[in-house]
Structure 1
Amino acid sequence: MPAITPEWVQMMASYNRWQNECMLEAMESLSDADLRKDRGAFWGSILGTANHLLWGDQMWLSRLSPGATAPTVGLKDSADLAPTLGAWEAERFRTDGRFVLWAKELKTVSLTGDLSWYSGAAGMEKRAPLSLIVTHVFNHQTHHRGQIHAMLTQAGAKTSDTDLFLMPGFL
């Protein structure tokens, strides 16, 4: 199985933060009703999907980083994690900062071995190679931001580029 590097994780944590900032800018251009409108996505609305993404990031970070705390709601209530865009923005800012700090502290050896955790989604104990879990976390982020990007575009919001190579400081 190919290994990931601390540098790759740092790049992806920076990409995650940049994309969340871009997403916030587009979300701020919409009304509260537009953010909460059920758009047929799995988590319903733009805000609901953004909340689920934040919930997932906080849950995984609590498993990956000592001292990080898990969200106070379960998966089924993740779409309601932050009640307003302002509350979501504050939590998103803190969570992205924690991800970037966690990534900066990684050493190659930090990405070896397995991670064991109880998965509420699966209803059982799980164990997987840590490098796969970290890759999954960034894939999960990209997946849900793609959904949000599509919903924002459909709602008429101006969205930003999502290509990794266009991230400021990438090259």
Structure 2
Amino acid sequence: MIDKGFVTTMARYNAWQNENLYGAAATLDDAARRQERGAFFGSIHGTFCHLLWADRMWLSRFAGTPKPTVPGSDSARMIAGWDELAAERLLTDRAIADWAQGVDPAWLAGDFSWVSGISRRELTRPAAQLVMHFFNHQTHHRGQVHAMLTAAGARPGDTDLMLIDLRA
């Protein structure tokens, strides 16, 4: 299905795109980042918060890192300040990269069980499917942020994976 190379490539893509979008968002004032824009998590700031929350939740399951301290229903309000949010994003992207480097191919080929907060029960799925979900979720919400940034007049860079050499 997928291998460690996929995981490390997607971790690098995640960090590259977060740098891209956070850089574009930094050109806006705080009011523009917090403006309600009709997205599922409301604003640019809220969507970034939710994405950070979800990344930390999956990392806590995959790597045993600390879980977010707020429930998913509060994910869009997890971090109030822009500077703190940007700093925590960098730390989490480093944690994702470290986890990706250490992914055991045998773990990736097996099943993984966790307690889902959404369904309130234990679920078991192939670990590879969950890792794909992890990265797909990031891409989905970053697409929403990209659209909101563009509508707000910011100019995020390219998002196409094939435009950068992720082997380095």
TM-score range, shorter chain: over 0.9
Report deviation, 1:168. 4.4
Partner of 2:49: 51
Correspondent of 1:97 among 89, 94, 97: 94
Question: Which 4+ runs in 1 deviate beyond 2 A?
Answer: 167-171
Please give the alpha-carbon distance, in whole angstroms, between the structure 1 residues aligned to 2:9 and 2:135: 11
CA deviations 1:122-168 (Å, max 9, x no partner) are 22221111000000000000000000000000000011100001124
Partner of 1:140: 137
> TM (normalized to structure 1)?
0.95
Checking the alignment, whether the CA contact within 8 Å between 1:52 and 1:78 is kept in structure 2 is: yes
> Any residues of structure 2 matched to 1:10-21 within 5 Å, and which?
10-21=8-19
Partner of 1:79: 76
Please give the alpha-carbon distance, in whole angstroms, between the structure 1 residues aligned to 2:42 and 2:5: 35
> TM (normalized to structure 2)?
0.96
Please give the alpha-carbon distance, in whole angstroms, between the structure 1 residues aligned to 2:94 and 2:143: 21
Checking the alignment, whether the CA contact within 8 Å between 2:12 and 2:166 is kept in structure 1 is: no
Please give the alpha-carbon distance, in whole angstroms, between the structure 2 residues aligned to 1:30 and 1:97: 25
SS of aligned partner of 2:124? strand
Please give the alpha-carbon distance, in whole angstroms, between the structure 1 residues aligned to 2:136 and 2:166: 21
SS of aligned partner of 1:86? helix
Please give the alpha-carbon distance, in whole angstroms, between the structure 2 residues aligned to 1:74 and 1:24: 24
Letter in 1 for 2:56: Q
Report deviation, 1:107. 2.9
CA deviations 1:101-126 (Å, max 9, x no partner) are 11111232120211111111122221
Letter in 2 for 1:134: V
1:110 aligns with 2:73: no
Please give the alpha-carbon distance, in whole angstroms, between the structure 1 residues aligned to 2:86 and 2:132: 24
> Any residues of structure 2 matched to 1:114-129 within 5 Å, and which?
114-129=111-126
Please give the alpha-carbon distance, in whole angstroms, between the structure 2 residues aligned to 1:145 and 1:23: 8
Tell me the matched-pair count: 168
Partner of 1:131: 128
Checking the alignment, whether the CA contact within 8 Å between 2:20 and 2:157 is kept in structure 1 is: yes
Among the aligned pairs, what percent are the same residue?
Answer: 48
CA deviations 1:49-100 (Å, max 9, x no partner) are 000000000000000003x111000011000111111111111011000000
Unaligned runs of 5+ in 2: none
Partner of 1:41: 39
Q: CA RMSD in A?
A: 1.2
